Structure 1
Amino acid sequence: MQAHHLHDFDFHPGESEVRLFTLPRAGVLRADEEAVVHEVRHGDVVLRHYAFAGHWLHINVTTDLSGNLVETGPRAGAPGRGVASAITMGTAR
């Protein structure tokens, strides 16, 4: 059975809680033993998030809708800088 969503736990040093992003499976481009890649549209930009198994590191890339790289500032509800942690698959409840 394929999961309906992806849980992305995001730890930011200096914050007392771990952020949890629940993402629709439709935005998951890769999810295997080596890496997870997902993308989410935020208005006129697309955030693509890369996380790698065995590494406490993630990379976020933002583009416009044509795929050109853009620089963005923090946006409400959008993942920010932090330390990647476990990503788990889950089924809708």
Structure 2
Amino acid sequence: MNEGMIKFHNLHLPNEVRVFQIPESNIRVWNDSVMVYEVKFEDEKGENLTFRHYSFYKEWFEINITLDAAGKLITESGPIEWSFNCDICSPCYSKGVNVYNVDLELDILVRSDGKEYIVIDEDDFAQVVSQGLLSEDECIGARKGLESLLQLISSGRLISFLEDICPFADLIRLSDPIPGCKLQLSDVPLLGMPERGCHYGRRE
């Protein structure tokens, strides 16, 4: 019997929907508050790594980390050396095996200590706002998500917040890398305005 697939739809404005097909066995946590899934991949040295994604039904952000085989955080280079890629986004919502959210452009990169950070892509956020691509509620939500996430980081609770949901060292034997594709917004009506705003935070 073929394993079921969860389809995660992530809208990148203005029109690109990135769809990730995640085997059910790669889902670590899925309840009315949070979904956590993991993806296997190899780095340029051939080392097996795990990409872990945290999506939230009640929060205006999502968080991505990469872990080695021992469950230790991988650090990457950028404006700062970072291990946590935090995206400001809409709360996720789902219908059956289909999950949806909207990337709201703002991002926070956080060092491996979970405390030092930098906010990036503020110009991109300002641009989508000026183009009318976000609703008023989404603009407010984006700022709310940024404030909430910065409070979590500044208080030193980011790591414990994530580990309480799914400990970093608690890894599973993953299937092959997951397939993905790209669609246009017109192909995914549930991500269109204004309908998407009616679904945020719902799991059906």
Q: Which residue of 2 aligns with 1:42?
A: 41
Higher relative contact order (CA 8 A, sep 6+): 1
Of 78, 93, 108, 1:86 maps to 93
Q: Which residue of 2 aligns with 1:24?
A: 23
CA RMSD of aligned residues (A): 2.6
Greater strand share, 1 or 2?
1
Q: Which residue of 2 aligns with 1:58?
A: 62
Structure showing greater radius of gyration is 2
- Per-residue CA shift, 1:23-72, capped at 9, x if unaligned? 00001011111110111111221011001112232100101111111134
Greater helix share, 1 or 2?
2
Q: In 1, distance between residues paired with 2:96 and 2:38?
A: 15
* Counterparts in 2 of 1:88 and 1:19: CA distance versus 1, 3 Å: farther
Q: In 2, distance between residues paired with 1:7 and 1:88?
A: 10
Q: Provide structure 2 residue ranges, at least 5 long, that are not aligned to the other structure.
A: 43-47, 78-86, 99-204
Please tell me whether residue 9 in structure 1 is matched to residue 12 in structure 2.
no
Cα shift at 1:87: 4.4
Aligned residues: 81
* Counterparts in 2 of 1:64 and 1:87: CA distance versus 1, 3 Å: farther
Q: Is the 2:54–2:64 contact (alpha carbons within 8 Å) kept by the matching residues of 1? A: yes
Q: Percent identity?
A: 25
Q: Is the 2:55–2:63 contact (alpha carbons within 8 Å) kept by the matching residues of 1? A: yes
Q: Is the 2:29–2:35 contact (alpha carbons within 8 Å) kept by the matching residues of 1? A: yes
Which AA in structure 2 matches 1:83?
C
Q: In 2, distance between residues paired with 1:87 and 1:48?
A: 19
Which AA in structure 1 matches 2:93?
A
